[in-house]
Chain A
Amino acid sequence: MNLVFILFFPLLIGAYLLIAKPKQAFIISLSATIIEAVATGFVLYKLNESLLPITFTQDWIPEVGIQFSLKADGISGILIGLCALLLPFIIGSTAKTEKANHAQYQGLMLMMQSAMMGAFLAKDAFLFYFFFEASLLPIYFLASKFGGENKSAITFKFLIYTIFGSLFLFIGLIFVYLRTPGATHSADIETLYLTARNLSAESQGFLFMAFFIAFAIKMPIFPFHTWQPDAYTTSPSQGTMLLSGIMLKMGTYGVIRLIIPMFPLGIGIWGNTAIVLSIIGVIYGSIIAIQQKDAKRLLAYSSFAHVGLISAGMLTQSFEGIQGALYQMLSHGINVIGLFFVIEIIERRTKSRELAQLGGITQSSYVLTVCFIILSLGSVALPLTNGFIGEFILLKSIFDYSMIFGVVAGITIILGAVYTLRLIQKTMFGNVSRITTEFSKLTLEEKMVLIPLSIFVLLGGIFPNAILHFSEESVSQITQLLK
């Protein structure tokens, strides 16, 4: 029942906010996300104690064997934890702005949380698809209603692109589902594992492509990334945080949950191609990020590069690769939300994101600089930050898989340092520019968001074992399937 609560609670509050449009929207949604975080924490605590998955099953459409079944294991646990942990900060980042008490804005974010929770918890493949698609609607309205320049066209492109990709997933799922035993078939993910693994290599190859396109567009992986920089740049900050912090993890989660256990032979055929594409994304994203003039766009490309590494690591199908990917999903979510918030803070005060116009902020806001540097170092993967653990494990798995891939992907550390340090240098240090002379100090609300996130970055770098241990069992179950 706990699972049902954490799935539907944000939806209910979100619907209330959308319909009733209360004046105190900020307080309501913030407390809702905190309650949600506590409830999720409780689920994770129980999960950690027993190490047995928590499940909930209810008939949904029995005629066709589709169930409303939820399952929280180590892998889902990390992602629902991420989702529940970050939402209070994302909501908190709207504090004292005109969006804070905008009921629609807050309501859409809560609905988004519900849909993402559903995707991470679903045990039935069609339930997963249901939430996977449903999550698009709130973010679409959020971005097109509150976004920046040219929002309508850009979010529309994002929407069509993503739905188009998901349709391939849909068709692939139906294909496997119809081959499950029994008169009514079954869409239970574990039944699908068994069925899909017995398919011929040829069909697995096609299915791998169908599934991978859907997830690759969501993540995004080169060359399906063309919607991403624009969408990240024009969305309102909170929309960008949701997109990059949590929503793209639905793609990586899908690869771990569905592709890797289902199509070992398919990966045998297309795995290398997919890894090469991911690594191209790493290098290509980093090089473009170096040349960006707009800070938000720079972060968008850096996110694109990071997710490429995650994807390459998990596609090696090794225990380390998947563990590293999970850890890096968590750290990337925390880092990227913090970084986007810093850019938002700068933009609020200076009305600009142009690197050329900024500089010298450290002279007026010391806390901001410190937090920004910690978050950036997390993103660069410096030791003692959470990014280091994730990237290190990922790179190790890629090296084990292939020396050449490892060497090429390893360049990311250098390139990442280049663009991130350039970002810090152009915004925080250097001469004070015309618009940064009167840069006011951080407000309490802003500190409440930034400081905890920075602490998480360090905590994740110093005590990684708790989390790595948490997902160990479930990941080894998946890698066991591959033997």
Chain B
Amino acid sequence: MTAIIALSLFGIGNLFLGFWFPRKVLQILTLLFLAVGIGLTAMDWNHELLWFGNMFRTTNTSINFSLIIQLAAFLVVALSRGFGADDEHTHPAEYYAILLFSVVGAILMVSFDHMIMLFVGLEILSVAMYVLTGSDKRNLKSNEAALKYFLMGAFATGILLFGITLVYGATRSFYVSNLANIIATTAPESMPSFLYIGVLLMVVGLLFKVSAAPFHFWTPDVYEGAPTIFTMFMSTVVKTAGFAALYHILSGVFGGIYSTWVLTIYFISMLTLIIGNVTAAYQVSVKRMLAYSSISHAGYMLITVSAKQISSTSTILYYSLSYTLATVAAFAVLIIVSEYQTGRKEKPEDYSSFEGLAKNNPGLAFCFTISLLSLAGIPLTAGFWGKFFIFSDSFNRNIIYPVILAILMSAVGIYYYFKGIIVMYFKDGGIEKIEIPALFKIALWFCTIGTLALGVYPNLVKSLF
């Protein structure tokens, strides 16, 4: 809990530090702040506490999610290279500050014990993301993406809020633990029917944030338009926080009326899997492919999120972590390659800019390969075990058809992920040796080695969760 206070203060501090310090120093300071945040979060381990008038609860699960979120933010900051070349048009201090604020929002979203806290967390996170999406202000696409994201996101938050209101109307409580009790003890007939509408609206609001189909239409455009570093942030931090909140709501609060929403979630997860994977297979831009791939991963996670089992918590955590590591690495390589190809190729983010990358940059190609293999769920990588835990968890609850579909779709996934590997290794292109800053290299290899280590020995973190 102290972490969110600290991070908010650091964020404000960052704004002032921007007057005196150049970008490089700010980056190091922000990393330091996040490291402090991670430390403070970890200190709460095994202390179940309530804060802010019982609106905020730290449990081991929420701590795990907060740690994953802060780790992702840490990696994103380490991989940020000044958000564009010159400090004049970009404002590093502001961006780092906004990033810290959004992390605070994400932590609120994973630790709420009161519906308003969820809403506040979601808003802090979202508003920060709208700003960051439009941060490349001379780029038309970035502006368009920000506006699109803002309009759609505002709608989704409104829907969520409406849902919260209806649920409150039906149960006269905002507190998660109370709500669960009331729903579990009241007979379904005596429940006002608008409770169910409220549940549905809340779920829709959150599904929008995790970009599940059919609420995914903003994702490809926003992911493509935003500066890649923030796309990386969006697809890891926002997604993890969204799923944690969704899981908390569905299993923790509305677990009592499981049968009313479970079919909806199945249907949405299947739709998400199909749309995400099949559309990703048609993309020519790596960035858009990764956007659709993030939609498809939302589909896999949704299957598990609908769980009523303890073991699903660790499955979701494991999957979030493996997905975060792989996605960060994939976007990091994309940043490097597209920066190199800007000016050389017409569309620097296409598959074709990766042609022949392996020849002079074997390290980069290796990192990209491992991250794609992990996303595709091939053994030796963390993604394989992520998929394994999801499939075995779902099978355990007799969820058969979504899992079979998920398996078919992972075969489609192999197709588009391997396209990236093929262009790097088996096509010719004139990419010379690309110079990479040391910090960037460390963060990139951290993700790669983490992915491999979790792939060979998943117990490394599985036993923690």
Contact = CB atoms under 8 A, between A and B. Distances in A.
A63 interface: yes
B185 interface: no
Q: Which 5 A-B pairs have the closest CB atoms?
A: A164-B411, A133-B379, A130-B379, A167-B407, A134-B379
A156 B418 contact: yes
A373 interface: no
B100 interface: no
28 contacts: A62-B459, A62-B463, A63-B459, A63-B463, A130-B380, A131-B379, A133-B378, A133-B379, A137-B378, A144-B426, A145-B425, A151-B426, A152-B422, A159-B418, A163-B378, A164-B411, A167-B407, A168-B407, A170-B388, A171-B403, A171-B404, A174-B388, A174-B392, A174-B395, A175-B395, A178-B392, A178-B395, A178-B396
A167 B396 contact: no
A173 B181 CA distance: 38
B414 interface: yes
A126 interface: yes
A152 B404 CA distance: 29
A372 interface: no
Contacts of A167: 407-408, 410-411
B137 interface: no
B65 to A, nearest CB: 19
B391 interface: yes
B414 A163 contact: yes
Interface residues of A, number: 31
B391 A63 contact: no
Interface in A129-175: 129-131, 133-134, 137, 141, 144-145, 151-152, 156, 159-160, 163-164, 167-168, 170-171, 174-175
B411 A163 contact: yes
A160 B414 contact: yes
Interface residues of B, number: 30
Given A177-B392, A178-B392, A156 B462 contact: no
Contacts of B403: 171
Interface SS of chain A = helix
B458 interface: yes
Interface string A162-206: 011001101100110110000000000000000000000000000
Nearest to A132: B379
B391 A171 contact: yes
Contacts of B392: 64, 174, 177-178
B16 interface: no
B457 interface: yes
A61 B407 contact: no
Nearest to A59: B459
B83 interface: no
Interface of A: 59-64, 126, 129-131, 133-134, 137, 141, 144-145, 151-152, 156, 159-160, 163-164, 167-168, 170-171, 174-175, 177-178
A134 B373 CA distance: 11
Given A145-B425, A167-B411, A178-B392, 15 more contacts: A61-B458, A61-B462, A129-B379, A134-B379, A137-B380, A144-B422, A144-B426, A145-B426, A159-B414, A160-B411, A164-B411, A170-B388, A171-B391, A171-B403, A174-B391
Contacts of B426: 144-145, 151-152
B453 to A, nearest CB: 13
Contact of A141 (B314, B379, B425): B425
Contact of B415 (A62, A160, A175): A160
A168 B414 CA distance: 15
Interface string B96-116: 000000000000000000000
Given A134-B379, A178-B395, A171 B414 contact: no
B386 to A, nearest CB: 13
